[in-house]
Chain A
Amino acid sequence: MTKANDAGHRRLWWKKSLWLLLLFIMVFTSGCWDRRELENIAVVLGMGLNHTPGGEGYEVSFQIVRAAQIKSPGGSSGGGEKMRPFWILRSSGPTVFEAIRNATFQSSRRLFLSHSQVLVINEAVAREGLTPALDFFIRAHEPRLSLWLLLTAEDPVQIFDASAGLEMVSSQAISDLLQQYHLTSKIRPVRLAEYVRLIMAKTTANTLPVIRTIENAGKKEFYFEGTGVIKGDKLVGFLDPIETRGLLWVLGEVQGGVITFDVPGKKGKATLEIFTSSSTVTVQVKADKIHVKIEVQVRSGLGNQTTYTDLSTPDQFKKLETRQAEVIKGEIEAALAKAREYGADIFGFGQQLYGHDNRAWQRLAADWERHFREATVEIKVKAVLVELGLTTRPVLD
């Protein structure tokens, strides 16, 4: 090997080493260093938002899992008094973020918000406007947009304090329950992401489910009841469970549930189980008058009857179908009446128009509340009964 060649190799070697060094620096100095041990974090499952008792500022409450209290199989938790598997913490500050940071004065472990399932908001906060309250949850990287939003008239802590039923922690129970809304279709669960989506669609009003506590055999339990209507970012009124379903029919979100009514011409009731439903909403503008056509299609089955008549004849089926359509139409009309009363477009008619006739929307959006109130709405419900269950006729027949 000649000398020149040797020098060349050395240069090459230096060059290679330099590149490698640069690569290492690049790799090991970027990224964020936020190691936190599993055992050193406080896993928050639920959060509540309230005003501080004094007035200004927010009080944030947390439901934190107390992992040591969750019985691990194998580890026998001998002596010591059994604590509840969660810990409720209240913290306040002028803004939500500061309130959350102030929690470190009380909690020995850093609060970890990524696993939060629910955010329970006091109605008073909602009446004043949700945007300042929710800003942190949308902005920060830890809380997720999949957070379930709930309204309550009580102190959110009361909800966390309620019995969790089969679950360990009530927040988990609430989250699981919301995901089964289709069993009744009388709640409309809303995630933070959905709320944000709708608030950005200027004309559409948001709805949030309402939760409260009830006393049951001396125990406090939580209970869902109806829906709060958020116009802009302010709570303006409520829908009852039936009206909530009226709303869900229009949105095409009824994917189950039962519907009970008197059997036409007979003594007794019939309960139909809804299998699927779909809806088509068309919004037309003629001379700045809005005309809305709502078509709902429902497939359901006979689930329960309290009459002694055989309902399984084509004739009876027709009657049941017609009656069911009327009931559904009634539910939708009830929801519509409330929405008109509040002047809140919870059905998203405006959004529909935005997509199909944008020019008209541009023109009408500014005064959408009035246009929405004055809109003519035509409701068509087509109900089909498809089955009777495992029996063909009542056993007594």
Chain B
Amino acid sequence: MFEMLWRKLRLAHQRKKTPVSRSRRDLSPNLEANLTAFQEELGASPDLIIRRLTLGPRPGSAGALIYIDGLIDKQVVNQDVLLPLLNEGNWGKGQDVTDLLGYVAQSILAVGEMQTETELRQVVQGLLAGDTILLVDGQAAALLLSTKGWDKRAIQEPEAEQIIQGPHEGFTENLRTNTALLRRKIATAGLHFEEMKLGQRTQTAIAIAYLKGVVNEKLVEEVRLRLKRINIDYILDANYLQEFISDAPFSLFPTLTFTERPDVVAAKLLEGRVAIFVDGTPVVNTVPALLVENFQSPDDYNFPYYYATMIRWFRYLSFSLAVLAPALFVALGSYHQELIPTPLMITLKTATEGTPFPLAIEVVMMGLVFEILREAGVRLARPFGQTISIVGALVIGEAAVTAGLVGAPTIIVIALTAITTFVVPGLLGPGIFLRLIYTILGGVLGAYGILTGMLFTLLHLASLRSFGVPYLAPLAPVIPADLKDVLVRAPIWALRTRPRLIGWPRPQRQPFGFAVDEEEKGEDGHDEGK
């Protein structure tokens, strides 16, 4: 049903799409005309700096340096652009240059990256990206000097994805910093980046990263295709892309994974996945995504295998508890009292004696209260934090029980769910949503309702695919070789093969054993890249 709706939406969308074609406008040879054109395009913004200057051997021709204040590195502009241009000694040998811009570019400027453009809009784009523009009277071209430099956040550990052991750096909002962080992890020529601009107004830089030789080329092609089809005027975060290119846009479950950690992205690329960077956000998407990825943490690989395996199972347990505990509690408490052992049943009964609401209402209510508290805690200015904990814990929890409005077991169940939900952050949304649905089903139909709900969830999960890979793999379809990193976390030396459905172009990570002879050194991805 959703698919149908989606298809219709997409169709309507395609029909409406009108090509945004504004006529091409070339630069004029007249400097003044060009400067007027710039001011027309950008308005009278005070951060637009136009520095007029005289270039070339005397008497020289009029020129202008244009840049946006705040987007450029002033040091570079002053020292490496302005200074050489104004130094008359530099012009000594260029007595009769006809192509002044070409000469400046070749012999004078101490800037590494530059290009010549003749189209106004392209030049403006460069200007807005932090380039400095050099115009010379008499030439219908502009020199774009890469002088990007703006204030950016330092590299920090992502707050939402903390780990105990291992690298503590995280991505930042700056695309170039992020790609560099990744390069520092994977120093092979096989690591390729492809950049494109998306968002008609934001012109956000998007980068696709993959490991040539390991990645499935068709996957890269598919990512490219899906990204190119995006027609949107602004992109502010990775989720904008995610909602566009997701296989199942209406599903509760994310068919793209996201992370702020370079080590996670590196590991995923090395498995044969593709990463999508978005400029302006530290969040990086990787595809294809599997359900089990949400239960894996970078810490799993930084701790011994037995501990990692144990912790992973705690995560599975926690997620099941987070989703099912209130539902089962409601079902047992209002339908299946015979299933509770007698002493426990009497204790529960004693605790709920005299509470005015049905158990289901109690649980849903307290669950809502908890969600609101959580949301408030996230949005709140830090100094108010204490208020929330006092109101939450004392007033709502303690007082509600003492006043006999809510049974103490309900609070315990809600507290348990509250804690367990955060163990699997990747499935926070689906977890909370499913919990609510299951609780209502448990309150309306008992265990039968919960089972029905679970059945539908399972059906849905089994139908999902992420970039061609079954979402439940390697559990359904069962891929025995891949269970080594799902049911357990096998020792690193035993993780010899990449996930079958993702890294199949080069399934083997490493040969068995310790010996590395000269022949096997050729196993590096880039040597045999297709």
A62 to chain B, nearest CB (A): 15
Known: A112-B337, A114-B337, A115-B337. A39 touches B342 (CB 8 A): no
Listed from nearest, the 4 A-B pairs whose CB atoms lie closest are A114-B338, A67-B349, A67-B350, A31-B448
Taken residue by residue from 314 to 341, chain B's Cβ proximity to chain A (1 for < 8 Å, 0 otherwise) reads as 0000000000000000000111011000
Q: Which of B7, B334, B346, B349 contacts A35 (CB 8 A)?
A: B334
List the A side residues contacting B202 at CB < 8 Å.
Answer: none
Provide 22 A-B residue pairs closer than 8 Å at the C-beta atoms, listed in order of the A residue: A9-B4, A16-B4, A20-B1, A35-B335, A35-B358, A35-B443, A37-B333, A37-B334, A38-B348, A39-B349, A39-B354, A43-B337, A67-B353, A68-B353, A74-B408, A75-B402, A114-B338, A115-B342, A115-B345, A142-B338, A168-B346, A172-B343
Known interface pairs A38-B359, A68-B353, A114-B337; 18 further A-B residue pairs with C-beta atoms within 8 A, sorted by A's residue number: A13-B4, A28-B445, A31-B445, A31-B448, A37-B333, A37-B358, A37-B359, A38-B334, A38-B348, A38-B352, A41-B349, A43-B349, A65-B346, A67-B349, A70-B350, A75-B402, A115-B338, A142-B338
Complex CA distance for A114 and B339, rounded to whole angstroms? 9
The reply to whether B445 and A45 form a contact with Cβ atoms under 8 Å apart is no
A172 to chain B, nearest CB (A): 7
Taken residue by residue from 56 to 76, chain A's Cβ proximity to chain B (1 for < 8 Å, 0 otherwise) reads as 000000000101101010110
Complex CA distance for A38 and B352, rounded to whole angstroms? 7
Asked if A17 is at the interface (CB within 8 A of a chain B CB), the reply is yes
Known: A74-B408, A117-B342. A36 touches B334 (CB 8 A): yes
Complex CA distance for A36 and B401, rounded to whole angstroms? 21
Known: A31-B448, A74-B408, A172-B342. A68 touches B354 (CB 8 A): yes
Q: Which of B11, B334, B446, B452 contacts A27 (CB 8 A)?
A: B452
Taken residue by residue from 1 to 30, chain A's Cβ proximity to chain B (1 for < 8 Å, 0 otherwise) reads as 100000001001100110010000001100
The reply to whether B346 and A43 form a contact with Cβ atoms under 8 Å apart is yes
Complex CA distance for A34 and B358, rounded to whole angstroms? 14
The reply to whether A1 and B334 form a contact with Cβ atoms under 8 Å apart is no
The reply to whether B349 and A38 form a contact with Cβ atoms under 8 Å apart is yes
Taken residue by residue from 298 to 317, chain B's Cβ proximity to chain A (1 for < 8 Å, 0 otherwise) reads as 00000000000000000000
B351 to chain A, nearest CB (A): 6
Complex CA distance for A172 and B443, rounded to whole angstroms? 30
List the A side residues contacting B358 at CB < 8 Å.
Answer: 35, 37
Q: Give the most central of A13, A28, A35, A43: most B CB within 10 Å.
A: A35
Report the nearest A residue to B360, measured CB to CB.
A35
Asked if B125 is at the interface (CB within 8 A of a chain A CB), the reply is no
Complex CA distance for A34 and B506, rounded to whole angstroms? 57
B5 to chain A, nearest CB (A): 9
* Chain A interface extent, by class: 20 to 34
Complex CA distance for A68 and B349, rounded to whole angstroms? 9
List the B side residues contacting A34 at CB < 8 Å.
Answer: 335
Q: Which of A17, A27, A36, A43 contacts B345 (CB 8 A)?
A: A43
Taken residue by residue from 158 to 180, chain A's Cβ proximity to chain B (1 for < 8 Å, 0 otherwise) reads as 00000000001000100000000
Complex CA distance for A304 and B426, rounded to whole angstroms? 66
Asked if B90 is at the interface (CB within 8 A of a chain A CB), the reply is no
Asked if B355 is at the interface (CB within 8 A of a chain A CB), the reply is yes
The reply to whether B1 and A16 form a contact with Cβ atoms under 8 Å apart is yes
Report the nearest B residue to A34, measured CB to CB.
B335
Report the nearest A residue to B409, measured CB to CB.
A38
Complex CA distance for A28 and B451, rounded to whole angstroms? 12
The reply to whether B334 and A13 form a contact with Cβ atoms under 8 Å apart is no
The reply to whether A17 and B1 form a contact with Cβ atoms under 8 Å apart is yes
Report the nearest A residue to B448, measured CB to CB.
A31
List the A side residues contacting B7 at CB < 8 Å.
Answer: 9
B79 to chain A, nearest CB (A): 61
B346 to chain A, nearest CB (A): 6
A83 to chain B, nearest CB (A): 13
Complex CA distance for A74 and B404, rounded to whole angstroms? 12
Complex CA distance for A119 and B448, rounded to whole angstroms? 31
Q: Give the most central of A31, A34, A45: most B CB within 10 Å.
A: A31
The reply to whether B350 and A41 form a contact with Cβ atoms under 8 Å apart is no
Complex CA distance for A172 and B346, rounded to whole angstroms? 11
List the A side residues contacting B334 at CB < 8 Å.
Answer: 35-38
Complex CA distance for A117 and B422, rounded to whole angstroms? 41
B266 to chain A, nearest CB (A): 42
List the B side residues contacting A168 at CB < 8 Å.
Answer: 346
Complex CA distance for A31 and B4, rounded to whole angstroms? 32
Report the nearest B residue to A65, measured CB to CB.
B346
Q: Give the most central of B11, B343, B351: most A CB within 10 Å.
A: B351
B462 to chain A, nearest CB (A): 16
Q: Give the most central of A16, A114, A117: most B CB within 10 Å.
A: A114
B30 to chain A, nearest CB (A): 52
A115 to chain B, nearest CB (A): 5
Report the nearest A residue to B338, measured CB to CB.
A114
List the A side residues contacting B446 at CB < 8 Å.
Answer: 31, 35
B3 to chain A, nearest CB (A): 9
Complex CA distance for A115 and B355, rounded to whole angstroms? 22
Taken residue by residue from 111 to 123, chain A's Cβ proximity to chain B (1 for < 8 Å, 0 otherwise) reads as 0101101000000
Complex CA distance for A43 and B348, rounded to whole angstroms? 12
Complex CA distance for A234 and B1, rounded to whole angstroms? 66
Taken residue by residue from 11 to 47, chain B's Cβ proximity to chain A (1 for < 8 Å, 0 otherwise) reads as 1000000000000000000000000000000000000
The reply to whether B452 and A39 form a contact with Cβ atoms under 8 Å apart is no
Complex CA distance for A172 and B347, rounded to whole angstroms? 14
List the A side residues contacting B353 at CB < 8 Å.
Answer: 39, 67-68
Known: A43-B346, A114-B337. A13 touches B1 (CB 8 A): yes
Complex CA distance for A84 and B334, rounded to whole angstroms? 26
List the A side residues contacting B338 at CB < 8 Å.
Answer: 112, 114-115, 142, 144
Known: A1-B11, A115-B342, A142-B338. A72 touches B351 (CB 8 A): yes
Report the nearest A residue to B358, measured CB to CB.
A37
Complex CA distance for A74 and B11, rounded to whole angstroms? 63
Complex CA distance for A65 and B346, rounded to whole angstroms? 8
Q: Give the most central of A41, A43, A75, A172: most B CB within 10 Å.
A: A75
The reply to whether B346 and A38 form a contact with Cβ atoms under 8 Å apart is no
CB interface residues, B 432-474, toward A, < 8 Å:
443, 445-446, 448, 452
List the A side residues contacting B345 at CB < 8 Å.
Answer: 43, 115
List the B side residues contacting A36 at CB < 8 Å.
Answer: 334-335, 337
Report the nearest B residue to A26, measured CB to CB.
B452
List the A side residues contacting B445 at CB < 8 Å.
Answer: 28, 31
Report the nearest B residue to A17, measured CB to CB.
B1
The reply to whether A68 and B4 form a contact with Cβ atoms under 8 Å apart is no
The reply to whether A65 and B349 form a contact with Cβ atoms under 8 Å apart is yes
B326 to chain A, nearest CB (A): 15
Complex CA distance for A349 and B403, rounded to whole angstroms? 63
Complex CA distance for A127 and B198, rounded to whole angstroms? 91
The reply to whether A38 and B333 form a contact with Cβ atoms under 8 Å apart is yes
B147 to chain A, nearest CB (A): 50
Taken residue by residue from 292 to 305, chain A's Cβ proximity to chain B (1 for < 8 Å, 0 otherwise) reads as 00000000000000
List the B side residues contacting A12 at CB < 8 Å.
Answer: 4
List the A side residues contacting B352 at CB < 8 Å.
Answer: 37-39
Report the nearest B residue to A141, measured CB to CB.
B338
List the A side residues contacting B355 at CB < 8 Å.
Answer: 39
